[in-house]
Amino acid sequence: MFEEREMPYEVVRSRPKSFYERFDRKDELQHQTHYCPGCGHGIIHKMVAQAMDELGIQNRSILISPVGCSVFAYYYFDVGNVQAAHGRAPAVATAVKRSRPESIVVSYQGDGDLSAIGSAEILHAANRGENISVIFVNNAIYSMTGGQVAPTTLLGQKSTTTPEGRKAEKEGYPLHVSELLGTLEAPVYIERVGVGDNKPIAQPYRAVRKALEIQVKGLGFSLVEVLSTCPTIWKMSAVESQHWVRDVMEKTFPLGVIRDRTKEAQPREARAVPRSWQPAAKGSRSQHR
Ligand SMILES: Cc1ncc(C[n+]2csc(CCOP(=O)(O)OP(=O)(O)O)c2C)c(N)n1
Ligand code: SF4
Ligand SMILES: [Mg+2]
C-alpha cells in the first residue's frame, strides 16, 4: 500500500487532448495500447500529444506515421494522419507541408525506417530545410519484424541477423544520423535525448516541444532523436531496458544538442504551392486534360 502523504506538487493523471478518448481497437483490447509494456513508443507518443496540446495546434497537426511498431500511431493521435511507406515519411511530410503550409507536420519514424531504407529521404528533406518536425525513435533494432540488425545497432549487439553480435568489419559501425545531419547547413535544430531515466524525462519532452514550436514559428527543419526502449526484442524487463538505454546506448549515442540555430533563424515564407497542385476554381477547366 502507498503511504498517504501530502505531495509538494499536484499529481495529474490525464490523457492529452490530442489523443483519441478511446483507441480504435477490438473491444477486448480497448483497455490497452498495442505497444508492449515498457515500450518507448508509448512514452514518446505522449510527449508529442502533450506538446500539441500545449502549443494549441491539434486542429492543424498532421502526423505522418512510419512502417514499424509505430505504424498504428493513427490509432492514438486525434489529428490529421497519413501512413507512409517504409522510409518515405519525410517525402510525404514535405508534400503535405508544401500543399498545406498552415499545417504542422510531424514525421514520426523508427531507426530502421529513417536510417536504413529512408536514409535518402531524411537526408534530402533536412538538406532542403523543410519546415517539418521529425521525431526519430532509435531503439537500435528492427523491432516490428522480429529483431534484425539496423544501421543503429550497437557493436557487439546481438540480432537475428547478427547472432554473434554486430561486427564493424561485417556490418559497419553504428550510424550517427543526428551528427551526419548536423553537418548540413539548413537544419535549425537537432538534439538527441533518451527515455533511459524517469527523473530527467522533462528533457526529452522539452526537446519534442521545441521541435514543434520551431515549425509553428516557421523557422525550418528540426529533428529530435530519442533513444528508446524495446524490452521485447532486447529480451529484457522494462526496467532493465531503461537502464540499457542509459548505461549502454548513451555511450555510443551521446545525448545533447547537435545543432541549434533557433536564435538566428528567420521565419521562412510559406513555400508557394505550385498552380498545378491547386484545386481548379468551380466552373473553370482543369489544367490536367
Ligand atoms: C518497403 C518495405 N521494406 C521492408 C518492410 C518490412 N519492415 C516492416 S517494419 C521494418 C523495420 C522497422 O524497424 P524500425 O523502423 O526500427 O521500427 P521499430 O519497429 O523498431 O519501431 C521492416 C524492415 C516493409 N514493410 N516495407
Ligand atoms: S516490439 Fe519493441 S518497439 Fe515494438 S511494441 Fe514491443 S517493445 Fe515496442
Ligand atoms: Mg527500431
Number of domains composing the chain = 1
pLDDT at 280: 61
> Is 92 close to ligand 2, i.e. is its CB under 6 Å away?
no
Whether 16 is covered by a domain: the verdict is no
Contacts of 112 (CB under 8 A, 6+ apart): 68, 141, 142, 145, 148, 150, 151
Give the pLDDT confidence score for residue 272 in this predicted structure. 55
Q: Return the residue matching grid coordinates 480504435.
A: 24
pTM summary value? 0.91
The count of C-alpha atoms lying within 13 angstroms of the C-alpha of 144, restricted to the half-sphere facing its C-beta, is 16
- For 70-83, how does the pLDDT look when each residue is reduced to its tens digit (9 = 90+)? 999 999 999 999 99
> Whose C-alpha lies nearest to ligand 1, atom 20?
143
Q: How far is CA 65 from CA 31, 46, 134, in A?
A: 22, 15, 11
Residue 243 CA, ligand 2 centroid: distance in Å: 16
22 lies in some domain: no
Nearest-angstrom CA–CA distance, 139 and 151 = 11
Helix (H, G, I), strand (E, B) or coil at 285: coil
The CATH number that applies at residue 153 is 3.40.50.970
Please list every protein residue whose CB sits less than 6 Å from any atom of ligand 1. Answer: 67-70, 86, 110-113, 117, 137, 139, 141-145, 150
Q: Is 47 among the domain residues?
A: yes
**Residue 241 falls inside a structural domain:** yes
Instruction: Give percent of the chain above pLDDT 70.
Output: 89
> For position 212, what pLDDT does the model report?
98
Residue 210 lies inside a defined structural domain of this protein: yes
Confidence of residue 286 (pLDDT cuts 50, 70, 90): very low
What residues are neighbours of ligand 3 (ion), with CB under 5 Å? 110-112, 139, 143
Whether residue 13 lies inside any domain: the answer is no
Nearest atom (ligand 1) to Cα of 114: 15
pLDDT band at 54 (very low <50, low <70, confident <90, very high): very high
Pocket test of ligand 1: the residue of 142, 195, 249 to mutate, having most ligand atoms within 8 Å of its CB, is 142
- Which range of 27-41, 185-199, 243-257, 259-273 scores highest in mean pLDDT? It is 243-257
**Residue 278 pLDDT exceeds 70:** no
Domain span holding position 245: 27-277
Query: Does residue 288 fall inside a structural domain?
Result: no
Average confidence score pLDDT of the chain = 91
